[in-house]
């Protein structure tokens, strides 16, 4: 098992890519700490993982709120003793053309997608240092690399996450911590399910592999970056996009 005796905190793990990563980590022997704002869905999914034989716990958290994140870190350290892997995956969208984007929607996306990553990393950094071989994996996006119409706030947040990833890779390397990011392209999730079929067809035409990715496709990248197989990989942005960003 690739993550045997490891403990991972995965934010935004009640749905989508985060949930797929939690399932893969659990199957590889990891103690999975699922953290999400959606308490009902998160608790249900954690129970499902336990029923399937996995080691999973759920904690409600608002990553945009520092006090909430600090409480999460304190509980995790008290109840689990340490953390080896941190997956900063919690994120939201509030899409709008720039001319119509409100200050509130701009700021809310940055609060969760960017400041939330900062909060969680700072809160769990002592535990990751103590681990001696910590891994931090941040969720970026194709939008953060190439921009996207109607996503000023989202693209800005993800571009900034990429910048933080590279900065932390340099800062934390001497502490034995690898910091990398995954940049998913168009992935089948609850977010993309709302896209009209006509628009989906147009988007598929831009993807060389001719299909949207699955949450499991992205989760495979997280598993690789969390495992010992990536021990000499630091500061990269791993694109999981079917070739759309070439």
Active site residues: 154
Could you tell me which residues are beta bridge partners of residue 57?
33
Question: Tokens standing for 131?
Answer: 């681990």
First to last CA, the chain: 34
Residues 109, 128: Cα–Cα separation, whole Å: 26
Residues 139, 141: Cα–Cα separation, whole Å: 7
Closest CA to 138 of 72, 83, 183, 188: 183
Residues 52, 67: Cα–Cα separation, whole Å: 33
3-state secondary structure of 224: helix
Which residues, in sequence order, are CB contacts of 150 under 8 Å at separation 6+? 95, 96, 97
Residues 244, 232: Cα–Cα separation, whole Å: 27
Closest CA to 120 of 58, 175, 183, 64: 64
Q: What is the CA radius of gyration of the chain?
A: 17
Residues 232, 50: Cα–Cα separation, whole Å: 32
């Amino acid at each position: 098992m690739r993550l045997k005796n490891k403990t991972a905190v995965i934010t935004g793990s009640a749905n989508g890519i985060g949930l797929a990563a939690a399932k893969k980590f659990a199957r590889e022997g990891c103690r999975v700490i699922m953290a999400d704002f959606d308490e009902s869905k998160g608790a249900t999914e954690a129970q499902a993982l336990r029923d399937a034989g996995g080691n999973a716990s759920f904690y409600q958290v608002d990553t945009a709120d520092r006090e909430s994140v600090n409480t999460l870190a304190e509980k995790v350290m008290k109840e689990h003793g340490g953390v080896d892997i941190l997956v900063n995956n919690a994120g939201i969208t509030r899409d709008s053309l720039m001319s119509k984007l409100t200050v509130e929607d701009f700021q809310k996306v940055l609060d969760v997608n960017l400041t939330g990553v900062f909060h969680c990393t700072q809160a769990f950094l002592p535990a990751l240092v103590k681990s001696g071989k910590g891994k931090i994996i941040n969720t970026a996006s194709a939008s953060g690399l190439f921009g996207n119409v109607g996503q000023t706030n989202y693209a800005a947040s993800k571009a900034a996450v990429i910048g933080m990833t590279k900065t932390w890779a340099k800062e934390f390397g001497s502490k034995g911590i690898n910091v990398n990011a995954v940049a998913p392209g168009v992935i089948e999730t609850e977010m993309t399910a709302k896209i009209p079929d006509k628009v989906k067809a147009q988007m598929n035409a831009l993807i060389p592999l001719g299909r949207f990715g699955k949450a499991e496709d992205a989760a495979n990248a997280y598993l690789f970056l969390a495992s010992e197989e990536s021990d000499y990989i630091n500061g990269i942005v791993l694109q999981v996009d079917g070739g759309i960003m070439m």
